[in-house]
Amino acid sequence: MSHADMPDDIPPLTPAVFHVLLALTGGDRHGYAILKDIRQRTDGRMTMQAGTLYGTLQRLLDLGWVDEIDPPDDEADARRRYYRLNREGRTAIQADVQRMEDLVKAARVHLRPRRA
């Protein structure tokens, strides 16, 4: 996605939203799989519990960035809910990654050692 394609109306994502969206880029997942993915990917630096996770998922469903899908046929526990990242959600996380890349680039320019 180029700079020109990036939507301007997406605010910076909170860490919880960012990590949940990032976990869902790996495929459809249920709640505990999302929690495990976040813990493993951040080496345990970011841990989330179910209350925060489902509050975040509720917001993402309301925003229309994530869809709830039917569980796979081999799912033993009927009480589990599965989630899928949709195109709007992918656009949102790509926009946030681009924003952070721009921020890092700008910071590197300022932090470069100056010649006397």
Partner 1 sequence: MTPPRTAVIYPWPVRAYRWMTAVYPPAFHSTFADSMAADFNDALRDARHTGRTRGVLVLLAAVAADLIWSITVQWMRTSVPWLTAAYATALVGICEGLAATLVGSAFQWSRVVMLLPLVSAITFTLWFLVPQLRHRRSKTPCLTSAA
Question: What angle, rounded to 10 degrees, do the helices at 87-111 and 15-24 form?
Answer: 120
Provide the terminal-to-terminal Cα distance of the chain, rounded to the nearest Å: 40
Least distance CB 98 / partner 1 (angstroms): 29
Give the type of residue at 3: H
Task: Using the minimum distance from each CB to partner 1, give the nearer residue, 19 or 95.
Answer: 19
Q: Which is nearer to partner 1, 76 or 116 (CB)?
A: 76
**Residues in 76-105 at the binding interface with partner 1, rule: CB under 8 A:** 76-81
Q: How far is the CB of 48 from partner 1 (least distance, A)?
A: 8
Q: Which is nearer to partner 1, 25 or 58 (CB)?
A: 58
Cα separation, 35 vs 83, in Å, equals 13
Residue 85: phi, psi to the nearest 5?
A: -75, 130
Residues 15-74 that bind partner 1 (CB under 8 A): 30-32, 35, 47, 49-55, 57-58, 73-74
For 43-47, the CB contacts below 8 A with 24+ separation are: 46/15, 46/19
Q: Which residues bind partner 1 (CB under 8 A)?
A: 30-32, 35, 47, 49-55, 57-58, 73-81
